[in-house]
Amino acid sequence: MSALLEVRELHTRYGRVEALSGVSVTVPQGHIVSVIGANGAGKTTLMNSVMGVLPSQGDVVYGGESLRGVSLEGRVARGISLVPERRELFASMSVADNLTLGAYTRRRGAWRADLDEVYARFPRLLERRAQLAGTLSGGEQQMLAIGRALMARPRLLLLDEPSLGLAPLIVRDILQIVRGLRESGVTVLLVEQNARASLAISDEGYVLETGQVKLSGPARDLARNPELTASYLGG
Ligand code: ATP
């Protein structure tokens, strides 16, 4: 299985603080890879570095090519899409308009079929297409954020804490949606604090601690790893 994304020895700093200190992560084509870690471990920094919105040292290789010097828009156009932590929807715009904005890098008209596909995947969004995004429930907002990212037709989807603030039953729905994305051919890099649930749907996992990879391996093995069980999986 070839790697779609390879993060190599990434160093990212905020002024004098180094948030990532030589992080390497491999995301094989067609897999779900989860990154787990405590608050402040550097998970969001990793996502933003892959998107190219934070300057960093090291290399991000996508589809065999280095993304050095490639802008955020260039990365989106190449098929990388981010669902940011806290979703960042346009609260006072409708569901439909939020989705349409997700297609901004695509040719006019090319996105109509994608909109139908997103509505087929999320019938709830179709029902609520005229509703203002800010009035959706937390789970619906997360569906909208994922739907908006899908409008860019990603090959690689970066999901930053999709279960944040959601009730356990809704978390399960969202993770099932993520699993469905893999089935339709999307490769996923998933950041989660909800370690057990995210490892359960992942192929591989990485544990970040203060900007470094502490453990990594097949998700199944990590879920049984005693070190991880004690600190992240609730004993
Ligand atoms: P969380 O789960 O709380 O979102 P995280 O693992 O995503 O945490 P990051 O947000 O990547 O962690 O933060 C990593 C480190 O970098 C933290 O120590 C944080 O305080 C620091 N940091 C993040 N953003 C900035 C910033 N804009 N300026 C300075 N320091 C920052």
CATH number at residue 40: 3.40.50.300
What does the alpha-carbon distance between residue 219 and residue 207 come to, in Å, rounded to a whole number?
A: 11
Q: Is residue 13 part of a domain?
A: yes
Asked whether the predicted pLDDT for residue 235 surpasses 60, the reply is no
- Give, using CA atoms, the residue closest to atom 17 of ligand 1: 40
**pLDDT of res. 87:** 76
Cα–ligand 1 centroid distance for 44 (angstroms): 7
Give, for ligand 1, the residue of 13, 35, 45, 159 to mutate: max count of ligand atoms closer than 8 Å to Cβ: 45
Asked whether the predicted pLDDT for residue 91 surpasses 80, the reply is yes
Q: Is residue 174 part of a domain?
A: no
Give pTM, 2 decimals: 0.92
What is the atom index within ligand 1 of the atom nearest the CA of 47? 11
Cα–ligand 1 centroid distance for 208 (angstroms): 12
Q: Is residue 210 part of a domain?
A: yes
Q: Is residue 66 part of a domain?
A: yes
How many structural domains does the chain have?
Answer: 1
Pocket of ligand 1 (CB under 6 A): 14, 17, 19, 37, 39-45, 85, 193
Letter string b/e over residues 103-133, b meaning 16 or more CB atoms within 10 A of that residue's CB: bebeeeeebeebbebbbebbebbeebeeebb
Q: What residues make up the domain containing 217?
A: 1-77+187-235
What does the alpha-carbon distance between residue 184 and residue 153 come to, in Å, rounded to a whole number?
A: 12
**pLDDT of res. 165:** 86
Cα–ligand 1 centroid distance for 189 (angstroms): 18
When pLDDT is cut at 50, 70 and 90, the band that residue 193 belongs to is: confident
pLDDT, tens digit, 9 for 90 and up, residues 124-157: 999 999 999 999 999 999 999 999 999 988 999 9
What does the DSSP 8-state code read for residue 164? T
Cα–ligand 1 centroid distance for 39 (angstroms): 8
What is the atom index within ligand 1 of the atom nearest the CA of 160? 7
Cα–ligand 1 centroid distance for 19 (angstroms): 7
Q: Is residue 211 part of a domain?
A: yes
User: What is the identity of the amino acid at 202?
Assistant: S
Query: How much is the average pLDDT of 107-127?
Result: 86
Please report, in angstroms and rounded to a whole number, the separation of the first and last CA atoms in the chain.
33
Q: Is residue 147 part of a domain?
A: no
